[in-house]
Structure 1
Amino acid sequence: MTDPLALRAAAERQASTLPPLLAAATHLASTVILGDHGRRRAGTGDTFWQYRPAQVTDHARSIDWRRSARSDANFVQDKEWQIAQSVALWIDRGASMRFASSDKLPQKATVARTLALACAILLIRGGERVGLTGTDLPPRRGTAQIGQMATLLAADDDADYAPPDTRGLLPQSRAVFISDFLGDIAPVEHALTRAADAGIGGALVQILDPQEEAFPFDGRTVFESMTGALRHETLKAGDLRQRYLDRLAARKDRLTTLARTTGWQFSTHHTDAPATVALLWLYQSLAQPA
């Protein structure tokens, strides 16, 4: 039988992270000024967006004859896209994401969760449906969805590296994968290929600690994974630096190529950099056609 006191203590520890996380995500979202039409684009709807020159593929009934009469060219009214998208987020909760090289830097997991929640806030404000991959939180509208998302994201995974979860992805929707992508690349390749086959576009955001980018080690060094399952000791860490940097560059190139071939976007964000730029890039990436 489960100990009620232990269960309550675990729940309180988990819940204690939610107010700071939600506050940080809300503050981050407020720093990005998108205007009333931050993801404005042409599509099915009734709201006028802009005039554009008519093309040979446009029907005659689409031409705005009043506007066209004022020039030598024919013009068509573009309407603003008003069909809500479904956006599913996968945030790596593996142990490797709990790494921070300094007490002055946030964990990669904190940055990833804050970025994901801030993006969800902006998307929901724009009328989109947002949720998590898997079966626990399908895409929905409404601010209540943010609180449920924060609760689920507070849980950690016991494995060093967690593979992307593609369950619950809807055809022709959008998705976001946020991770350090330092584990086995095969599950990532499988997930993106499966998504592309279903007409799902999206964005990959790689979160790295500055130490992981620079490899500032020399002399005797013990490298150990966050769970302690992986361990390597060397007397000449400096000799490993170039090999490590080459492999990291190769991993980024692989992710860039994978994103390009599947119609996704890819970017790397460092935990010592302002998250505003990453949030704006992510938000705008989701507006790209699939």
Structure 2
Amino acid sequence: MGDAFWQYRTAQPGDPARSIDWRRSARSDVHFVAEKEWQAAQSVVFWVDRGQSMQFSSEKNLVTKADRAALLSLAAAVLLVQAGERVGLTDMGIRPMRGEVQLGRVAERLADKTPQDYGVPDVSILPRHSRAVFISDFMADPGPVEEALATAADRGVQGVLLQVLDPSEEAFPFDGRTVFHSMGNTLEFETRKAGELRDRYLARLARRKERLTAMAGLTGWRFHTHHTNDSPASALLWMYQALEGRA
């Protein structure tokens, strides 16, 4: 952490009292915080897919993809705030901030759901030269993700793509007559020979991962897949190290 002075800014809810520059604040009706140079670009913005597809769980004792995504993003946000960095969600409508109040806002927002089958990344408030985390199953059309990454790259934003999958989506254990429904009940597909679809499905999933890996590589991001039956601690560690450029 450097000590070079960068700028004054007005104090925000959640800023600790020790961060207030009382000498500068005495000359005004508001409180000011003296930011250091190392803090200028330390903002991490999360896009957490809350589409209906993320509500899937193949077993009663498994968490949904949405619950795991929310847990990982909130845990990472806590660690980042403890490290003195600003956090936020892309759809909160406010810039990233520090403090427990901001963590409360993030937690509350993560409980929301969207009616669409698949979420679409929102990069409208990504600060330049910040960092970002996109968490999704990435099962939808990859076009919007590619566009979001291109926009992020233009703004000098680097980050990570974390794909969260249910183990059944990785193994495709279905056989015989099977009716597949989208979680939003907007799509339905029935087959009498589900087992014959396994190889084609797994090949398409592998191609999707390769495309995501390539997309991340072109923009300086990192890609990783996490399964809901694995420990969230391993995914959290990878994500934190990747944001620090050590993964």
Q: Pick the TM interval, shorter chain.
A: 0.7 to 0.9
2:208 aligned with 1:266: no
Task: Give the Cα–Cα distance (whole angstroms) in 2 for the partners of residues 133 and 189 of structure 1.
Answer: 16
1:191-216 deviation digits (Å, cap 9, x = unpaired): 00110111000000000000000000
Task: Give the Cα–Cα distance (whole angstroms) in 2 for the partners of residues 222 and 46 of structure 1.
Answer: 61
One-letter amino acid of the counterpart of residue 213, structure 2: T
Equivalent position of 1:123 in the other structure: 80
What is the DSSP-based 3-state SS (H/G/I as helix, E as strand, rest coil) of the residue aligned with 1:203? strand
1:24-75 deviation digits (Å, cap 9, x = unpaired): xxxxxxxxxxxxxxxxxxxx7249xxxxxxxxxxxxxxxxxxxxxxxxxxxx
Q: Unaligned regions of 5+ residues in structure 1, if any?
A: 1-43, 48-79
Equivalent position of 2:155 in the other structure: 198
Return the offset for 1:82.
Answer: 5.5
Aligned pair partner of 2:70 in 110, 113, 118: 113
Identity percentage of aligned residues: 57
What is the DSSP-based 3-state SS (H/G/I as helix, E as strand, rest coil) of the residue aligned with 2:2? coil
Equivalent position of 1:153 in the other structure: 110
One-letter amino acid of the counterpart of residue 43, structure 2: S
Given that residues 45 and 83 in structure 1 are in contact (C-alpha distance below 8 angstroms), is that contact kept between their aligned partners in structure 2?
Answer: no
The 1:81–1:135 alpha-carbon spacing in structure 2 relative to 1, beyond 3 Å, is closer
Task: Give the Cα–Cα distance (whole angstroms) in 1 for the partners of residues 42 and 172 of structure 2.
Answer: 40
How much is the aligned-residue C-alpha RMSD, in angstroms? 1.6
2:200 aligned with 1:240: no
Task: Give the Cα–Cα distance (whole angstroms) in 1 for the partners of residues 241 and 75 of structure 2.
Answer: 13
What is the DSSP-based 3-state SS (H/G/I as helix, E as strand, rest coil) of the residue aligned with 2:224? strand
Aligned pair partner of 2:176 in 191, 194, 219: 219
Q: TM-score, normalised by structure 1?
A: 0.71
Report the number of matched residues.
Answer: 214
1:78-157, aligned counterparts within 5 Å? 83=40, 85-157=42-114
Q: Unaligned regions of 5+ residues in structure 2, if any?
A: 5-36
Q: TM-score, normalised by structure 2?
A: 0.84
Equivalent position of 2:142 in the other structure: 185
